[in-house]
Amino acid sequence: MDSALASKLQHYLPLTPEERDVVDSLERRERRFRSGEVVLEEGEATDRLYVVTGGWLHSSARLSSGNRQILRFHFPGDLMGVSSIAWAETAATLTAVSDCMVSDFPRLALARVFKEQPRLAALLYAVSAAENVAMSDRLMSLGRTDGRTRIATLFLDILSRLRITDGQIVDSFELPLTQAEIGDAVGLTKVHVNRTLREMEQAGMIERSGKIVRIVDEASLVEFAGFKDRHYRIATDWFPPAAMAVV
């Protein structure tokens, strides 16, 4: 019954009942996808946005060379397919990483949010700004650090984002990605990912068994990778007041 988007937004700001209603109305049409299934293909025409309500997905794009870059991972509460806000064609392919649930709504529905719930609109804008900064962090990671640091950063990012919706998680998590996929995310080949993971394990940074990854000493890995958590908090003090209830 709990809307995933609402619960993510509530993490930042307690919503009024009216705001909740509006958010909930964006999550009516829910669909289930199996691990590996494609929700939306790059280049497809769409005017819809997608919300993760359970599981993981990623968005990726493909180069003419055939290489693929994974652009982002999406966790419960995340808004996906944001490019359809600005264009009629999707910019990235959405693929289910694990079995997952996704609901979608037409971008037209956002008009109501902007018109009737300015505070909620401001929150969406702030979340988008935060995502922009998180993207910048990844840019730094790919442009200016070596393989080991890139993978460390990826793991820390996943860990911190899983924690937003799952308070249980302490120092390990299940990573439903192949090494080839990790490579597509951090800009390395699968072969090099393998060697690097191995090195990191030997160096005592991580432990692996099956698909479970354990971060041995998070604080020092954060230090090593220069990791910054961009999702935990955002400023809400400048927002306009919530709309009055129409009584």
Partner DNA sequence: CGCCTGTTTGAGAAGACTCAAAACGGGTGG
Partner DNA sequence: CCACCCGTTTTGAGTCTTCTCAAACAGGCG
Which CB, 1 or 238, lies closer to a copy of itself? 238
Question: 180: closest CA among 39, 36, 55?
Answer: 36
Q: Which two tokens stand for residue 133?
A: 């900064």
Does position 25 bind a copy of itself by CB under 8 A? no
Helix runs in the chain, H state only? 4-12, 17-24, 83-86, 108-116, 118-144, 147-165, 179-186, 190-202, 218-225
Does position 47 bind a copy of itself by CB under 8 A? yes
In degrees and rounded to multiples of 5, residue 240 shows phi and psi of: -70, 160
Residues 17, 167, 168, 238: which binds a copy of itself (CB under 8 A)? 238
Does position 172 bind DNA by CB under 7 A? no
With contacts defined by CB under 7 A, name the span among 24-32, 86-94, 120-128, 173-181 that binds DNA: 173-181
In whole angstroms, the minimum distance from the beta carbon of 231 to DNA comes to 26
In whole angstroms, the minimum distance from the beta carbon of 52 to a copy of itself comes to 17
Question: 154: closest CA among 172, 173, 141?
Answer: 141
Does position 10 bind a copy of itself by CB under 8 A? no
* Residue 244: how many other CB atoms lie within 10 Å: 8
CA distance 40 to 161: 23
Residue ranges that bind a copy of itself, judged by CB under 8 A: 47, 59, 61, 63-65, 67-69, 71-72, 82-83, 85-88, 91-92, 106-108, 110-112, 114-115, 118-119, 121-122, 124-133, 135-136, 138-140, 142-145, 186-187, 226, 233-235, 238-241
